[in-house]
Amino acid sequence: MSVPPANHLLFADLDVEALPDHPIGKDTWYAVGGRADMLLRPRTTEALSRIVRRCHESDVPVRILGSGANLLVADEGVGGIVVSLDHPHFKEVSYNLDGAPELIRAMAGADMQKTMHETVRRGLGGLEQMAGIPASIGGALTMNAGGAFGEIADSLHAVACLDRRGEIVIYPRESLEMGYRTTNLPDAPILWGTFKLMDRDPLLLRERVKEIFQYKRKSQPMADKSAGCAFRNPIDPQTGERISAGMLIDRANLKGRCVGEAEVSQCHGNFLVMKTGAGKASDLVRLIDVVKQAVHADSGIELETEVVIWDRD
């Protein structure tokens, strides 16, 4: 697919930092992969709005770079525009919205873990199920991130996105369908999310967070370079229920399988890790294919990747 070039002069009048040919793979949790033809760092909502509108008018694709926790950037990099929401403006979290102590608004670039810990400190329950899930708020909302203890949709109140004209469109929770790692949000940049939390004892909330972290430390390779779960839990064709992708990978005797410097974790089969900093994104892409083929041969079940892969296609 031919991708139109992104000229930094298209954004020269905006409150934005433009970085041509900028490395972004290093900013993902895998810390491998290539460069963005153009990385933009807007400093205001207005600048982001105009970027979205101008890219649409110029037929230039836009990708939003969050925390890089669920992302793999191909070695050859990506074209179009990559927008990083790492300016403090896009990391703000506002409390006591409209005089309601339990209502908060988190901008898309806000860190999920920092936000969760602050709500716990304030005695606000509703985000503690996200303990140990690395993400930006925008990234977590995009895929309805979660795990065994719940998902971000559990306390969601509303989401604001930017349409192709750069206009803010607000989607109340009741208008959204948010299932297992899926939402019906449009393919558009998320600006913020609001959450309706509950008044709770901060000590009890803190204990709950500790319990979740202890569980994850025992069952997941949290210290390794990975993007969390590499595959979604598939539907068992016999029961119609979701089953563990990690269990299927384990049954296929794939733990410890390597391609280059990429390895199926010995701790949890659904985690693909980089053993050293010398690996390439292509190692992980090839290992994903190896796992898919082996699981299908063993169980007849097709695994679907949960990690997002950016490439020039």
CA 309 to each of CA 74, 140, 179: distance values in angstroms, whole numbers, following the listed order: 7, 16, 21
Q: How far is 37 from 81, CA to CA, in rounded Å?
A: 7
The three-point CA angle 115-117-123 to 5° equals 105
Entry field: residues in the chain: 313
Q: How far is 204 from 9, CA to CA, in rounded Å?
A: 53
Strands 156-162 and 81-84: unpaired
The CA-to-CA distance between both ends of the chain, in Å, stands at 6
Residue 293: other Cβ atoms inside 10 A: 12
Q: How far is 26 from 37, CA to CA, in rounded Å?
A: 15
Residue 177: other Cβ atoms inside 10 A: 10
Alpha-helical runs (H) found in the chain: 45-57, 112-121, 137-143, 202-219, 245-251, 281-299
Known catalytic residues are: 181, 229, 306
The label of the residue with tokens 């102590």 reads: 101
Long-range interactions of 213-220: CB distance < 8 A, separation 24+: 213/131, 213/132, 215/148, 216/131, 216/132, 219/267, 219/268, 220/132, 220/267, 220/268, 220/271
